[in-house]
Structure 1
Amino acid sequence: MTMATDLNAKTIVEIVKNLLDNVGFEVHPFKLGWYNECVDKPFVLPYDSDTLALLVISTPHMYDKAFRPFICRQQCDGVRDPIDQCVAHHFKLVKEKFPDTEVEAVHDFELNHNRRPKILVQTAGHVAGAAFYYHRKDVVPDHWDVKQKIFGVSVHPKYGGWFALRGVLIFKAITCPELVQTTPPDVIPDRDTRIELLERFNMHWQDWTYRDIIPVTEKYSEQQKEYFATKPGERQAIVQTIKESVDSVTE
């Protein structure tokens, strides 16, 4: 195992990208202060504003490059969704690269005792410059009835909605005062298309058309679509199908 020595933010980012890029993840560094400035007090993370954090995104390639190999190697425990277990496995591999550095992994599915998310990954994705987080406030003037709830949604510049924000790795003792913030690409600059995006996401999310709000370079495979369209409690059948297909090839 290659261990990291003489650590700084640039070295850490290079190591983590080398580990995760090849299995279908994207890694985007950011300062926790950028995130804390954008969230309400209950979601503020208790670290120095210059603390290094890495946002991790799964691209459409993750399913074949990380997930399918993972479920064929591992015995999934059936408690958590296998995708979550796969991501947790790769976060663990990252932490093992830094045995002398405390790294906190915060997953998108984790909740605090009060049932609040431990981290708002869409906000983290925006401040890290990875994916633009479109809110109701980005439609001016407001289009909807004041009583109507409209949830925001992130759009990736390459994958549109065909991606997932999987969590954040926090390097507690590493600061990066030199890191410069970049704004995520505003791929939907016009009001009408923003309205269309938010209405597709809030009112028709099950047809997934919001994911194609912009032209994309890659999207989920048919099996991947089937997996994510299946209720979490029923996904083990697809997992078993994948295992059996691999077994039949190797026999």
Structure 2
Amino acid sequence: MEPRVGLLEERIRAPLDRLGLESYSFKVGWYNAVLPPAFHLPYSENTLAFVVVSVPAMFDKAFKPFLKKHMLKKIHDPIDQCISHHLLLVRESLADYQVDIMYDYEMLPNRKPKFLAQTAAHISGAAYYYQRKDVEQDPWGEKKIFGVCIHPRYGGWFAIRALLVFPDVEVPFLLQNAPIDCVRTEKERIELLEKFNFHWQDWSYRDIIEAKEKYSEEQKTYFATPPAERLKLLNLSRGLQRNGVAVFPAKEECIA
């Protein structure tokens, strides 16, 4: 790893690790090389970036403390606000660099996502992006089949949250870390894509490998609950009403 990347990575990783967030470095050129031009990130190919993912510990280490300390803004999802709050603090701590932040829910004016989260996770080595092309004997015919990332330690019990891009930092000699292929057999890959596409609500695709840590029952209940009812689960609705704050989540995190 380039020395400059190592120093930056440590300054990002130290605060995020305490919050149940992980970061993985990559070059923008790796990302753009596997996508059509319409989805390219508008930076030079050697630009340094990091993908940020949340792991099961995030719920207790970052989300619940955030809800107790901060008044929620209108329209945004509380999880999104929590992630944004902490990444903005990271950016403030890196005032000697320009840092562009893109979130998984952000869209461009043409309604395309600002970045393709699963592609970013794959090329950074964070998680393996299993797609239809990874199955040799395709059993789905004309059906639309979406791909899904699997983390080597957490299986499907994680979420891709954001990109941190450093426009002024070029790392031409950065070496790419391949994602760990942890769903190796044809049978398991078919099972994974079947469960993710047709039975995602029962959580079973997340257990395609043995995870070292999963979402707690409280966390699973939170994400399985309709957005408008989630705050009641954390006994926070009374406090929010007292502060005169209405919460209208912008999206349902069906695969958070």
Secondary structure, counterpart of 1:92 in structure 2: helix
1:87 to 83, 86, 91: 83
Matched, 1:180 2:175: yes
Per-residue displacement from partner, 1:213-248 (whole Å, max 9, x unpaired)? 00010000111101111122332323434987xxxx
Q: Deviations over 1:56-81 (max 9, x none)?
A: 01000000001011110000113111
CA distance in 1: counterparts of 2:235 and 2:108, whole angstroms: 32
**Secondary structure class of the residue paired with 1:54:** strand
1:64 counterpart letter in structure 2: D
What are the ranges of 5 or more consecutive residues in structure 1 without an aligned counterpart? 1-6, 245-251
Check conservation: 1:29, 1:53, Cα contact below 8 A.
yes
Change (3 A) 1:243 1:51: farther
Alpha-carbon contact 1:9-1:175 (below 8 Å) kept:
no
Deviation of the 1:178 alpha carbon? 2.0
SS for the counterpart of 1:23 is: coil
Q: How many residues in Structure 1 have an aligned counterpart in Structure 2?
A: 237
5+ residue gaps, structure 2, are: 240-256
- Say whether 1:156 aligns with 2:151: yes
1:22 paired with 2:29, answer no
CA distance in 2, matches of 1:138, 1:33: 23
Q: Which amino acid aligns with 2:93?
A: K
Task: State the partner residue of 2:46.
Answer: 50
Q: Does 1:206 align with 2:201?
A: yes
Q: Is 1:169 the equivalent of 2:158?
A: no
Q: TM-score, normalised on structure 1?
A: 0.91
Q: TM-score, normalised by structure 2?
A: 0.89
- Partner Cα separation in structure 1 for residue 158 and residue 34 of structure 2: 22
Within the candidate set 55, 60, 85, 2:56 is matched to 60
Q: Secondary structure at the match of 1:89?
A: helix
Is 1:141 the counterpart of 2:137? The answer is yes
SS of the residue 1:174 aligns to: strand
* CA distance in 2: counterparts of 1:243 and 1:39, whole angstroms: 46
Question: What does the per-residue CA deviation read over 1:57-106, in whole Å, with 9 as the maximum and x for residues that have no partner?
Answer: 10000000010111100001131110000000111011101213211100
Q: Is the 8 A contact 2:231 2:237 kept in 1?
A: no
Give the match's secondary structure for 2:102.
strand
Shift of 1:11: 1.1
In the alignment, what sits opposite 1:115?
Answer: 111
Structural RMSD (CA): 1.5
| Amino acid in structure 2 at the alignment position of 1:85 | Q
The answer to whether structure 1 residue 72 and structure 2 residue 59 are counterparts is no
Structure 1 outlier segments of 4+, above 3 Å: 239-244
1:115 counterpart letter in structure 2: R
Task: For 1:42 and 1:228, locate their aligned partners in 2 and report how far apart those are by CA, in whole Å.
Answer: 32
**SS of 2:177 mapped into structure 1:** coil
